[in-house]
Structure 1
Amino acid sequence: MASYFTLRPWAPADLPSLVRYANNPAIARYMNDQFPHPYTEEDGRDFIAMAMEETPINIMAIEVGGEAVGGIGLHVRANIERKNAELGYWLGEPFWGQGIITEAVRQMVDYGFRTFDITRIFARPFGTNPRSQRVLEKAGFVLEARFEKTFFKHGQYIDELIYAVRRP
């Protein structure tokens, strides 16, 4: 069972905890290159400002014990992909293995289908990240595709997996 957490909008006061938990190579290794490492206060300020400008809110903080310890977002696509949204998430390492991120994904999927005009939510975990694959499976996502060696990170090619869930 997941420890108690809340999904809520990001706020400027989250900067210290954001930098503390995001500045971790164990997290950055499974994120795209827009997620920097090292993760600086300037990176955090830029991210919080960007997350706060969207209406409706599409990027949430994961709060545990009064502090932001991770993030989760839905990015609605455009053009012919406009009925789809890409899900991304991360969680501070001290909170891994407690069921938090699986439940956060479930809540974000529910929020996404209630809030946005979409019929499919997908995520693209690295083939080298079995924990994230398991999170998605436990949250009801189905593996739709595996593309061999499409991602390039830290000098190596990595398989791209596509998991998705459809509007009920």
Structure 2
Amino acid sequence: MELHGTGFILRGWLDGDEESLQKHADNPNVSTYLLDRFPYPYTMNDADKWVTYMRHQKKQTNFAIAIDDHVCGGIAIDLTIDANSKWGEIGYWLGEPYWGRGIVTEAVKLLTDYAFKNLDVIRIQAGVFGQNAASMRVLEKAGYIKEGIMRNAIIKHGKVIDKHMYAILKPE
């Protein structure tokens, strides 16, 4: 499955993505506002494990952001279960050389549309670290609405941070 944006493609993870993945992911400015499950430093071993794991997705929910066949970021919908089974949480990252070009905003719009059409979700939400104003703007430009702030909800590098919650509902 490929989703085409302006100058980029959202696609599945492929053998050969490891080198460009590691190059763009191994940046403290990238990992600053991501969950700790996104390692820093980001090694070739991390990249190898990730691509191998992602190649076996049963349902396409995690996409590489590729420009000229080189991975420069990632975007995904994490689906929830049980009583929360009709919503997912979107997350994304992009290599620093590509920041400020509107790529992530367009990627969020593409993945949101894909999710509503293909993943049986009625709500998509995103949690944003309190200092990450750029990510908040991305979500707002993509049609997400801030629903609230979870105070002292995240601990990153020993610092307690607020989490801003955004969401979008499936159009009726």
TM over 0.5: yes
Picking from 163, 167, 170, the partner of 1:167 is 170
CA shift, 1:121, in A, is 0.5
The reply on whether 1:148 has 2:154 as its aligned counterpart is no
The CA distance in 2 between the partners of 1:133 and 1:145, in whole Å, is 12
User: Unpaired segments of 5 or more residues in structure 2?
Assistant: none
CA shift, 1:3, in A, is 4.9
Q: Give a deviation string over 1:21-75, Cα, whole Å, max 9, x none.
A: 0000001110000000000111111111222221221100001122010000011
Kindly tell me the number of residue pairs found equivalent between the two proteins.
167
The CA distance in 2 between the partners of 1:136 and 1:162, in whole Å, is 10
CA shift, 1:165, in A, is 0.5
Match of residue 87 from structure 1? 90
The CA distance in 2 between the partners of 1:75 and 1:12, in whole Å, is 22
Return structure 1 stretches of 4+ with deviation > 4 angstroms: none
The CA distance in 2 between the partners of 1:8 and 1:24, in whole Å, is 22
Where do 1:73-112 residues align within 5 Å?
A: 73-112=76-115
Identity %: 40
What is the identity, as a one-letter code, of the residue corresponding to 2:89? E
The CA distance in 2 between the partners of 1:83 and 1:54, in whole Å, is 19
The reply on whether 1:39 has 2:69 as its aligned counterpart is no
Cα RMSD (Å) of the superposition? 1.0
CA shift, 1:80, in A, is 0.8
The reply on whether 1:68 has 2:71 as its aligned counterpart is yes
Match of residue 8 from structure 1? 11
The CA distance in 2 between the partners of 1:124 and 1:136, in whole Å, is 10
User: Unpaired segments of 5 or more residues in structure 1?
Assistant: none
What is the identity, as a one-letter code, of the residue corresponding to 1:7? L
The CA distance in 2 between the partners of 1:140 and 1:15, in whole Å, is 32
The CA distance in 2 between the partners of 1:51 and 1:45, in whole Å, is 10
Match of residue 129 from structure 1? 132
Answer whether contact 1:51 1:58 (CA < 8 A) is retained.
no
